[in-house]
Amino acid sequence: MSRAPQASRPEPSGYFKPADEAPELLPWSHVTERMRSARNYWVATCGPQGRPHSMPVWGVWLEDAFFFSTGPTTRKARNLDSNPRAVVHLESGAELVVLEGRTREIRDAATIERFVAAYNPKYGWDFTVAQLETGGLFQVTPERVFAWCGDEGDAFAATATRWVLTDPSSNER
């Protein structure tokens, strides 16, 4: 991403402190730092009949997107094949980052090489490019991101921040 997306307060109004009564909105670096440093991520998908599915995964944050691998025949992969939308969030409710986005399966060697170069040292793993070229590597490109820090009510209300990364003229809400 060439520049950080614009931050705003999430709705509903009255639930969070208005921007003029709260500390600065969280910077985009808050999201990137937490996504880079997290060990475990939760990925939620939805199947063709609307059945939700959520599982923890390991992954990496590269180029303002989240990448994770899963077996090509897992429920996650099958769900993403029929519905490319996913939600990814960190484990902590006090240092929260939630991203909603679209996925795509990655098969090109250059992107897989970048994933392997980041993933293997992070987890002490031994993925090869050849293993992932046949499928199972997914990129989640965020469209909407929410974050806050602090587990006290006031900290949550004061720091809750939203970034919308899709075209504002689209019908997405």
- 10-50 pLDDT tens trace: 665 555 555 556 567 899 999 999 999 999 999 999 999 99
Question: Does 151 map to a domain?
Answer: yes
- pLDDT: is 114 or 170 the higher one? 114
- C-alpha–C-alpha distance, residues 22 and 53, integer Å: 36
Q: Which residue has the tokens 């509903």?
A: 12
Per-residue pLDDT tens for 69-93? 999 999 999 999 999 999 999 998 8
Closest listed residue to residue 82, CA positions, set 47, 39, 45: 47
153 lies in some domain: yes
Q: Is residue 122 part of a domain?
A: yes
Domain range enclosing 68? 7-164
Does 17 fall in a domain? Answer: yes
Residue 2 falls inside a structural domain: no
Return the number of other C-beta atoms located less than 10 Å from residue 18's C-beta: 9
Helices (H), the chain: 28-37, 75-82, 109-123, 129-133, 153-159
Helix (H, G, I), strand (E, B) or coil at 21: helix
Q: How many distinct structural domains can be found in the chain?
A: 1
pTM: 0.86
Asked whether residue 170 is assigned to any structural domain, the reply reads: no
Closest CA to 65 of 1, 159, 126: 1
Of the candidates 73, 90, 89, 93, the residue with the CA atom closest to the CA atom of residue 81: 73
CATH assignment of the domain containing 159: 2.30.110.10
* 115-127 pLDDT tens trace: 999 999 999 999 9
- Residue at 44 is within a domain: yes
